[in-house]
Amino acid sequence: MDPKIFKAYDIRGIYPSEIDEQGAYRIAKAIYRFLVKERGTDDLTLVVGCDVRLSSPSLKRAAMKALTDQGVRVIDVGSISTDMLYFAVAEYGYNGGFTVTASHNPKEYNGMKIVREGGQPISSDSGLFEIRDDAEQLEIPDGTLKNDPDRSLIEEKVIMDDYAKKVRSFADLSKLKPFKIVANPNFGVGGVALDRITEGLGLDIVKLNYEPDGNFPKGRPDPLIPENQEEISALVVEQGADFGVAWDADADRCFFFTEKGQFIEGYFITALLSRIFLERHRGDKIVHDTRLTWAIEDTVSDLGGIDLPNKAGHSFMKERMFREKAVFGGEMSAHYFFRDYYFCDCGMIPFVMILEFLSRQEKSFSEIMQELFWDRYFVSGEINSSVADVPSTVEKIRSLYIGNASKVDDRDGISLDFLDQKNDSNSWRFSVRASNTEPLIRLNVESKSRDTMERKRDELLAIIRG
């Protein structure tokens, strides 16, 4: 087990060189020991699931062996999306759990996402590195993994029907238009969930990369990759679909495309979902990351809500959601969080909410986005750059720009706003931050005019890339 696989909010490494069955055993045992210490009792029932990766069943078996060797009762929920883990732990009142997954990473990766009671995350801020340090010290006697887990302590539980019912509760699906939709789960379990959620709704689903396949035959299962966007975008136009939707392999992130095949940034979906929630819950709180903000801040302000900027990362977002009891939260990365989903993120709830929203509109998806956001806010999209020294590069940018900033936010890298009271088209802002999972600098630039955005984007990239 390579300790570097422990990231800011989950565990990810290459199988079997960085994480293997012995590593999974040690991590699972350390999770158990951490929860015993936190709860003050060794009487635990933990949920275990996995994604569709080829290495996941073997790692899951080793992890369940670790738990049953400690006398832990295990709820085996099978092959699941990551948000189904949150559902299973919180809905049924179990003491915590984990799923064996590497999210959208390539097929050679695997890892774990871990939660405590209530589906709440265990991140680097709340115990993940303590689990790492304990797992590093644990030794496994020879032959430990030869025998199967104690099946008398394992209950296999099918949760799909209950999960689908929970997801559907977020929208009134009684008056849906007969939409034609292109759906791309990127060979993960999302298609299985979508079939159950949309059963009986009269939708025409055009299926792309739909059957689960842990080989991920078209490469990294991540809708943020431009090549992956091109495939679904072209199919939406070819099929004359009303819109397209895609998920990453563990289906906890959701991405949308207009009827013209245009990719919609998670930033703008966050603003749109904020609008939908605040129309239902006037004055409520919305949590969002600080990479791009103006469309969200303006939407929340217009509808009398309270916007709460926060450090990016799904664990950090959930922890803030829970503290603030916020109705909704969203990230540019397309993680969306819901108070009525245990303050956790879910990849299917945005889909049903957008279904209901579009069914109430006379305009197309592209017309709505143009009117609400695209004619008003111009963004660079997240631009990643590999540099020799990330902290010093961020500090250099800070020192060059902070003196002229109208607003400074340094809770996650550095975000600076520059407002021109005389000419709003000259107003702009940017965010520069280190990646939580990769040795990269991430840049986002936003302005009220395309020219200003592009000029400032190029100016900053010249500094970052030298």
Sheet holding 180-184, edge to edge: 204-207, 180-184, 243-247, 254-257, 263-264
Sheet strands (E) in 192-327: 204-207, 243-247, 254-257, 263-264, 285-289, 306-310
Classify the C-alpha dihedral 71-72-76-80 as positive or negative.
negative
Q: Which residues pair with 445 in a beta bridge?
A: 430
Cis peptide before 178 (omega within 30 of 0): no
DSSP 391-452: HHHHHHHHHHHGGG-SEEE-SSSEEEEE--SS-GGG-EEEEEEE-SSSS-EEEEEEESSHHH
Which residue carries 């250099």 as its tokens? 396
CA nearest neighbour of 244 among 351, 318, 319: 351
Q: Which residues pair with 447 in a beta bridge?
A: 378, 428
CA nearest neighbour of 31 among 92, 149, 111: 111
Q: How many residues make up the chain in this entry?
A: 466
Q: How far apart are CA 150 and CA 148, in angstroms?
A: 6
Q: Pick the catalytic residue: 55, 103, 233, 333?
A: 103
Is 38 in a helix, a strand, or coil?
A: helix
Q: How far apart are CA 385 and CA 387, in angstroms?
A: 6
Is 103 an annotated catalytic residue?
yes
Which residues are the active-site residues? 103
